[in-house]
Amino acid sequence: MKQIIITVLALFIATSLYSNPRIHPDLQSKMNSASPNEKIPLMIVFNNHLSLNDFNDIGYDVLKKDRRQIVVDRLIKFSDNSQKNVRSFITTKMASGMIENYEVLWIINRIALKTTADIINQLSTNFPEVTMLTYDPEYPVEQLYDDRQASPPCWMVSRCSSSRTDLTSYTNAVGSSTV
């Protein structure tokens, strides 16, 4: 019994020492089950993000269209700066065909791509600006739509296709006597 407890404890310590905290457990399990050259979809999450406070200096006297453009420009510039090293690495690996479906998501400061487990390990160890690498599963388009969803209720009674008697009974139930 004592040996079993020691063995379990040793396995737990060994697992925690060799697991990479930047690789999400879902991604790690996908990497463990993938073939050596299989490309795995993932999302690279970066340390730094902009907050609403970073946009406080934009006055409300600025036209709405111009404010929007300022926000978009700042988000793009911020992601360009914070992702610079990782993007450079990705570009070199894309040339050799190791990375596919590379997409910069500047609005949330992330990168989506498909690559091998070897590249994922390099991304997790060589870039301190990366907080987490997460598995980004692909879903069939059919699963993205809910065809069982009921149509929304009609809150504006006057726009519903109801008869006058239905409207009268509805308004009487609500507390109004006129239609």
pLDDT, one tens digit per residue, over 122-135 is: 999 999 999 999 99
CA atoms within 13 A on the CB side of 108: 8
Cα 86-21-37 angle, rounded to 5 deg: 60
Comparing 146 with 76, which gets the higher pLDDT? 76
Instruction: Give pLDDT, residue 124.
Output: 94
Instruction: Give pLDDT, residue 138.
Output: 84
Reported confidence tier of residue 153, pLDDT bands at 50, 70, 90: low
C-alpha 78/C-alpha 105 separation (Å) is 12
The topology (CATH level 3) of 21-144 is Alpha-Beta Plaits (3.30.70)
Strands 40-46 and 110-115: antiparallel
**Digit-coded pLDDT (tens) for 23-71:** 999 999 999 999 988 999 999 999 999 988 888 888 889 898 999 999 9
Instruction: Give pLDDT, residue 72.
Output: 94
Comparing 174 with 76, which gets the higher pLDDT? 76
Cβ atoms 42, 119 nearer than 8 A? no
Q: For the chain, what percent of residues have pLDDT higher than 90?
A: 54
Average pLDDT of the chain, as a whole number:
81
Reported confidence tier of residue 5, pLDDT bands at 50, 70, 90: low
